[in-house]
Chain A
Amino acid sequence: MREYAWLIAFIPFVSWLLIAFFGHRFKHGGDKIGIVALTISLVLATMVLVETANVAMQGEALGAHGPALAAAAAQAPEMKGESPDIGPTFDRSITWIKIGSIDITTGFQVDPLTAVMLFMVSLVSLMVHVFSQGYMHGDVRYTRFYATLSLFTAAMLTLLLADNYILFVISWEVMGLCSYLLIGHWFEKPGPMMASMKAFITTRIGDVGMLLGIFLTYWATGSFAFKDIAAATAAGKVAGPMLTAMAVLIFMGAVGKSAQFPLHVWLPDAMEGPTPVSALIHAATMVAAGVYLVARSYPIFHLTGEALAVVAYIGGFTALFAASIATLAQDIKKVLAYSTISQLGYMVMALGVGGYTAGVFHLLTHAFFKSLLFLGSGSVIHALHTQDMHEMGGLSKKMKVTTWTFIIGTLALAGVFPFAGFWSKDEILLAAFNSPFKLLFWVGILVAFMTAYYMTRAVTLTFFGKPRDHHKFEHAHESPSNMTVPLIILAVFATFSGLVNSPLTGNWFAKFVHFGAEHGETSLLVTGLATAAALLGILVGYAIYGWNVIDRKKAIRAAGPLYTALKNKWYIDEIYDATVVRAYMAFSAFTAWFDQHVIDLVVNVVGWAGYQMGLACGDFDLEVVDGAVNGVGAGVMAGGSRIRRVQTGYLQAYALALFGAVILGIIVYQVIGG
């Protein structure tokens, strides 16, 4: 089965072509094509996952590292030459470019990490496809929406299947393009217009770093293929600052795509896109690709402590930073957006502190519950036509399914036993606890508390209490079944997907997806602290927004500048606008001015001088004296059409220049030629 894995990505690609070129001929704008294609992909992905799991578990049964590796390890027990085991890998590649003896290959591979991600992406994408039928119903660019969604899914799946950085980068950027197109879906409005551009450029900054990192890796290891790079780094071919530079540069790509500080600014704005897009791209899959990148590049990262520290601290800081903004955001999608940033920071932090499995596991569970939350918010927005939580309230009476699934998502995100988030968050905190980064462990606990708090706040404001906007409330209604069914399915996954890495299943997931052998001892202290933080968060949140135990106006006044700073998202956007963007545009304006008024002026003045020389003192009064006087003034003003004045049209001036040149030639020849 695994040799056909490329079909998983290829089928959505075909569906993109079909929808893009023929979609408008179909009754429903071609949405069914996409759904059918993704269903096939999901089935294939499930088969691939099952097969990979079977192979992996057989290997596990034979020996801790699989038969081949076990044999290799036996030969050279202390050798650095073997990369840590990542489970059974199936790889097929062909030559893409051949330059002399340099062979650049491309192909696909399936290993446990890929297999689980394939399953997750095709599942979430299918849910979003189905959900969008209801949410996007009647949209002017319905077909375009589905076409781009298909292309995005194809790119994301290709990214997961890629066995080398080139294919990875290609699909990475195509995803960026789709994200750009989907954020700008309603391009008539200024918001999406600006947001789409901001998203593309911001991520591109990170991408350039990533590209450079990949190029450095290429020069250091001589290959773009993951397995060759892993072999080369493990053999100790690269070391020291070079390795760190490679890792940090590659990490820049993740910073951009996964919206880590300081390149996080695009993700909240990306909420200008349709909500299903936010669910799929800006919560579950594309933004997680940054985390996937780090996981994929772990053979580079795990050898360099400095780079891992950078990863860990950036992740930790982002988690805390974004969570703090989420506590006061007023727009329901913005709350979820900042929550996404925060959770991505969590995952990045996990990878940084050495919790490979933990990071990937959280990536997986987060995809389920965050897409659930976004789709839930989409359902609410669909009903109310507003995103402002202060205009909501009391919706639990009218939207039962949405409410309950949303609450499940919230509990999962907050990390309450036994929902999915509990298990994955626990793993991350455990990894941090066992690592040298003790500070980050406490940051994690704090973030867990804040997460529970702001989600409780969102749920309370949206679904409970009294309706604050009665007009909107009157028109609210439960969404149609093609929107609620995906919610229910995702809720099931948000509830139970955590169990794959629980004692119930014998930590099956950790045995399946791992990087080398890493098994931290479970710690009741960690679990207890995390759960306590989550419960406390929920309690505080409900106390403030549900029971109204404190006067919020007074609290705001007491918080003062802190409140203002948080409300304004720590002024990051404003700071960027005032410094980077402004300097950038000013520099551009300067270069344009320079080009027109300095370089072109030189050109024109040279032409003008040539004209003066050609004429010598021809018509002394009119041209030279006047010309010199004007030349100083007019030359500075604007060179403009000065050059044309070489062409006086006076026949004799030309002839004079001609003969003068001949004489000059004679003299030069006589002097030099002797």
Chain B
Amino acid sequence: MLSSLIFIPLAAALVIALFVPRDKVNVIKAISVTATVIPLVVVGLIWSKWDYATQAMQFVEQHSWIPSVGVEYFLGTDGISFSMLILTAIMSVLACIASFGIKHREKEFFALYLVLVTGMYGVFTALDFILFYIFWELVLVPMYFLIGIWGGPRREYAALKFFIYTLVGSVVMLVGILALYFQSGLGTFNMLDLTKAAYPLRFAWWAFLALYLGFAVKVPVFPFHTWLPDAHVEAPTPISVILAAVLLKMGTYGFLRVSMPILPEAMKTWAPFFATVGLINIVYGAFVALSQKDLKKLVAYSSISHMGFVMLGFAAATPQAITGAVYQMFSHGLISGMLFLLVGVVYDRTHTREIARLRGFYITMPVWATIMAFASFASLGLPGLSGFVAEFLVLVGSLNVYRTITIIAALGIVVVASFYLLMMRRILMGEPMEEWKKLPDASPREMVTLIPLILLIALFGILPSTLINIINPSVLSVVAKLGGS
């Protein structure tokens, strides 16, 4: 089951790279869409067979790989990773459809894109550290090219910055992984077995630091966040979508899958730090976003702000807070993905992202503008939409643990609201500008990518238990490891 998620996109990538001539663009697109839709169906199948009661890994596949050092081909999924798989499945299809707007070197683009999809599925299913690391790096490489070749004017700088930043992070992470491997003395890279070993606190603290650097860069946590706006701004639309929707979640997923279960004692000493950086992310990200002049940068900084809630939730380590954090990962994936799609729509037409040059879009592109308003409200946490549930749970869960921090974080919500409203006021309201009066509204293809997201955001806002029931057992096991109630 899970292997098919990984190998179908990979096989499709190889087919595109080796057998399809570059001028058969439609064939390439058809293969790509098929190769992303099949995993979506597979994820659906898994959902239909999902066991809501167990905390254990499900759909496990375990084969010996490099026995001499204890590396295995070990896949499995629990509630936390499965929610991420759902997100990946949805967003990879939508981003694939959004990629139809790419107009040069389609063959390379889609091949790399499918490799990227492979890597994402791999990260969220791997339960062996080496496998995990391989997929982690596998995501990095296509991303570099996708930004560097198809990006905006400063793409090379952005791609390099992204690459070096995350590469340094992941190398440090590898050091942490190896340290765990040697310290545990179990001779295995199996993540589940490594949770059972005992680590001296001093060692655990340092190992945690190494892992933290690797994951924090991906999240990204202040002050390692500056690659994000650059990468987002320069990346082509579908890649921004994937970057925001899925890639950022890899970092927080790493905390949840690796750092917290394996080094719970260290996590406890790190928790106040987590809460603090989470708070900084929330408030700082929002304030920086308020002053952005570039629409895409604004959305990028809002991502930073939202990921702060995830960190805060981790720090509090109550069932509500961690559930909220996972929910935020999911919901932010949908919402920020949607926002980047929307920004892409208007950029395709106007070739500018400068807020000052856009005005009156309620009148020129009413459908687009309405959806943009919807997405903005979803992002600022309007109750009834999925973002609210997440922020609500995180704040509820954290209030009793970190009172001052939570109160300030809640005030951060006002700042988030203010920059979105300011943005909407400037872009959507007002008399339309002469030069944009003739713009066509969102095309059917764009609507195909947007409508599912609208429905999902509303669905997960109104009936959160659809997802929470999946997440819940795994979250409780993490909480139990951390010694919470």
List A residues at the B interface (Cβ < 8 Å): 95-100, 102, 166, 169-174, 177, 180, 184, 187-188, 190, 193-194, 196-197, 200-201, 204-205, 208, 211-212, 215-216, 218-219, 584-585, 587-589, 591-593, 595, 599-600, 602-603, 607, 641, 643-644, 646-647
In the assembled complex, the CB of B284 is this many whole angstroms from the nearest CB of chain A, namely 6
The answer to whether B395 touches A99 (Cβ under 8 A) is no
Inter-chain pairs besides A591-B284, A607-B164, 9 sampled, C-beta below 8 Å: A95-B465, A98-B465, A187-B429, A201-B414, A201-B418, A208-B414, A216-B399, A585-B290, A585-B291
The residue from B400, B407, B413 contacting A219, defined by CB atoms under 8 A apart: B400
Return the chain A residue nearest B360 by Cβ.
Answer: A188
| Docked complex Cα distance between A99 and B422 (Å) | 36
Which residue in B284, B360, B421 is a CB contact (below 8 Å) of A197?
B421
Interface residues of B in 448-485 (CB under 8 A from A): 464-465, 468-469, 472, 475-476
Residues in B with CB closer than 8 Å to A646 are 164
B275-307 near A? 1/0 per residue, CB < 8 Å: 000000000100110111000000000000000
Task: Please provide the 4 A-B residue pairs with the shortest distance between their CB atoms, ordered closest to farther.
Answer: A592-B291, A170-B383, A588-B290, A187-B429
Indicate if B396 sits at the interface (CB-CB under 8 A): yes
Report A495 CB to chain B, min CB distance, Å.
Answer: 38
Q: Select A200's contact among B161, B388, B421, B465, beta carbons within 8 Å.
A: B421
Q: How far is the CB of B10 from chain A (nearest CB, A)?
A: 30
**Which positions in B face A, CB cutoff 8 Å?**
156-157, 160-161, 164-165, 223, 225-227, 284, 287-288, 290-292, 319-320, 323, 360, 362-363, 377, 382-384, 388-389, 392-393, 395-396, 399-400, 406-407, 410-411, 413-414, 417-419, 421-422, 424-425, 428-431, 464-465, 468-469, 472, 475-476
Q: Evaluate contact between A588 and B465: CB separation under 8 angstroms.
A: no
Contact B157 A197 (CB under 8 A): no
How far in angstroms is the closest Cβ of chain B from A12?
A: 15
Residues A188 and B396 in contact, CB atoms below 8 Å apart: no
Q: How far is the CA of A205 from the CA of B412 in the complex (A)?
A: 10
A174 to B: closest C-beta gap in Å: 6
B414: chain A residues within 8 A (beta carbon): 201, 204-205, 208
**A204 and B413 within 8 A (CB):** yes
Q: Are B399 and A215 in contact (CB under 8 A)?
A: yes
Query: Which residue of B223, B363, B407 contacts A188 across the interface (Cβ within 8 Å)?
Result: B363
- Give Cα A215 to B464, complex, Å: 18
Say whether A98 contacts B421, CB under 8 Å: no
**Which residues of the other chain, A, contact B319 by a CB distance below 8 angstroms?**
99-100, 102
A212 touches B410 (CB 8 A): yes
**Residues of chain B contacted by A602 (CB below 8 angstroms):** 223
CB within 8 Å for A174 and B383 given contacts A188-B363, A201-B418: yes
Chain A residues with CB under 8 A of B165: 603
Most chain-A CB neighbours within 10 Å: which of B389, B414, B422?
B414
Chain B residues with CB below 8 A from A587, complex form: 287
Q: How far is the CB of A476 from chain B (nearest CB, A)?
A: 30
Report the nearest A residue to B362, measured CB to CB: A187
With a cutoff of 8 Å between Cβ atoms, the chain B residues found around residue A212 in the complex are 395, 399, 406-407, 410
Is the pair B157, A219 in contact by a Cβ cutoff of 8 Å? no
* Residue from A208, A599, A643 within 8 A of B413 (CB atoms): A208
Residues of A within 8 A of B399 (CB): 212, 215-216, 219
Bound-state Cα–Cα, A383 to B319, Å:
60
A591 touches B400 (CB 8 A): no
Residue of A nearest to B429 (CB): A187
Partner of B411, one of A208, A219, A600: A208
- Are B382 and A173 closer than 8 Å at their CB atoms? yes
A593 and B291 CA atoms in complex are apart in Å by 9
Q: How far is the CA of A187 from the CA of B429 in the complex (A)?
A: 5
Choose among B287, B363, B382, B413 the residue that contacts A591 (Cβ–Cβ < 8 A): B287
- CB <8 Å contact, A172 and B383: yes
Check B284 against A193 for contact (C-beta < 8 Å): no
| A218 adjacent to B421 (CB under 8 Å) | no
- Asked, given contacts A197-B422, A208-B410, A643-B160, whether A169 binds B383 with beta carbons under 8 Å apart, the answer is yes
Q: Distance in Å from the Cβ of A140 to the closest Cβ of chain B?
A: 9
Measured between beta carbons, the chain A residues less than 8 angstroms from B227 are: 603
Given A204-B413, A588-B288, A607-B164, the answer on whether A177 and B429 have CB atoms closer than 8 Å is: no
In the complex, which of the residues B160, B320, B395, B396 has the most CB atoms of chain A within 10 Å of its own CB atom? B396
A595:B226 contact, CB within 8 angstroms: yes
Chain B, residue nearest A172 (CB): B383
Q: Which residues on A sit within 8 Å (CB–CB) of B164? A: 607, 643, 646
Q: Name the contact of B472 in the complex, choosing from A99, A180, A201, A600 (C-beta under 8 A).
A: A99
Contacts A174-B383, A201-B421, A591-B287 hold; do A193 and B430 have CB atoms under 8 A apart?
Answer: yes
The chain A residue sitting closest to B476, CB to CB, is: A100
Q: Which residue in chain A gives the minimum CB-CB distance to B321?
A: A99
Contact between chains at B292 and A641 (CB < 8 Å): no
Among A96, A200, A595, the most chain B Cβ lie within 10 Å of the Cβ of A595
How far apart are the CA atoms of A588 and B415 in the complex, in Å? 10
Q: Do the beta carbons of A184 and B429 come within 8 Å of each other?
A: yes
Closest Cβ neighbor of A174 among chain B residues: B384
Does the CB pair B421–A96 fall under 8 Å? no
Question: Which residue in B223, B421, B425, B468 is a CB contact (below 8 Å) of A99?
Answer: B468
Known contacts A100-B476, A102-B320, A212-B410, A644 near B465 by CB under 8 Å: no
Closest to A598 in B: B223
Contact A643 B161 (CB under 8 A): yes
Contacts of B472 in A (CB 8 A): 98-100
Q: How far is the CA of A102 from the CA of B393 in the complex (A)?
A: 12
Q: How distant is A223 from chain B, measured CB to nearest CB, in Å? A: 12
Least distance between B168 CB and chain A CB atoms (Å): 9
| In contact, A177 and B291 (Cβ under 8 angstroms) | no
- Complex interface: chain A residues within 8 A of B429 (CB): 184, 187-188, 193
Q: What's the Cα separation between A521 and B335 when bound, in Å?
A: 57
Chain B CB within 10 A, most for which of A172, A184, A603, A641: A603
Closest A residue to B416 by beta carbon equals: A204
A174, A187, A643: which contacts B382 (Cβ < 8 A)?
A174
Bound CA span A187–B366, Å: 13
With contact pairs A187-B429, A591-B287, A644-B157 given, residues A201 and B396 touching in the complex (Cβ less than 8 Å): no
Bound-complex Cα distance A473 to B165 (A): 71
Return the chain A residue nearest B227 by Cβ: A603
User: Could you tell me the distance between the alpha carbons of A219 and B395 in the complex, rounded to whole angstroms?
Assistant: 11
Contact residues in A for B363 (Cβ distance below 8 Å): 188
In the assembled complex, how far is the CB of residue B454 from the closest CB belonging to chain A, in whole angstroms? 12
Q: Are B388 and A170 in contact (CB under 8 A)?
A: yes
Q: Give CA–CA (A359, B428) in the complex, Å.
A: 40
Q: Choose one: B396, B418, B475; the contact of A215 (CB below 8 Å).
A: B396
A216 to B407, CA, bound (A): 11
Measured between beta carbons, the chain A residues less than 8 angstroms from B161 are 603, 607, 643
Query: In whole angstroms, what is the CA distance A357 to B476 when docked?
Result: 46
- Cα of A170 to Cα of B377 in the assembled complex, Å: 13
How far, in angstroms, from A149 to B226 measured CA to CA in the complex? 43
- Complex formed: what's the CA distance from A170 to B463 in Å? 13
CA distance A100 to B319 in the complex (A): 8
Most chain B C-beta atoms within 10 Å of own C-beta, residue among A218, A591, A593: A591
Give the docked Cα–Cα distance between A407 and B1 (Å). 75
Q: What residues of chain A lie closer than 8 Å to B284, measured between beta carbons? A: 591, 595
Contact A211 B395 (CB under 8 A): yes
B398 and chain A: residue at smallest CB distance: A215
Given A100-B319, A187-B362, also A588-B287 (CB < 8 A):
yes
B424 / chain A contacts, CB cutoff of 8 Å: 197
Q: Give the residue name and chain of the A residue nearest to B154 (CB).
A: A641
Bound-state Cα–Cα, A184 to B430, Å? 10
Closest to A188 in B: B431
- Contact check, B226 vs A644: say whether CB atoms are below 8 A apart: no
B377 touches A187 (CB 8 A): no
Closest B residue to A595 using CB positions:
B288
Residue among A166, A170, A218 having the largest count of chain B Cβ atoms under 10 Å: A170
Chain B residues, CB < 8 A from A170:
383-384, 388
Bound CA–CA A644/B475 (angstroms): 42
| Residue of chain A at shortest CB distance from B479 | A100
Q: In the bound complex, do residue A218 and residue B157 qualify as a contact, i.e. CB atoms below 8 Å apart?
A: no
Contact A97 B160 (CB under 8 A): no
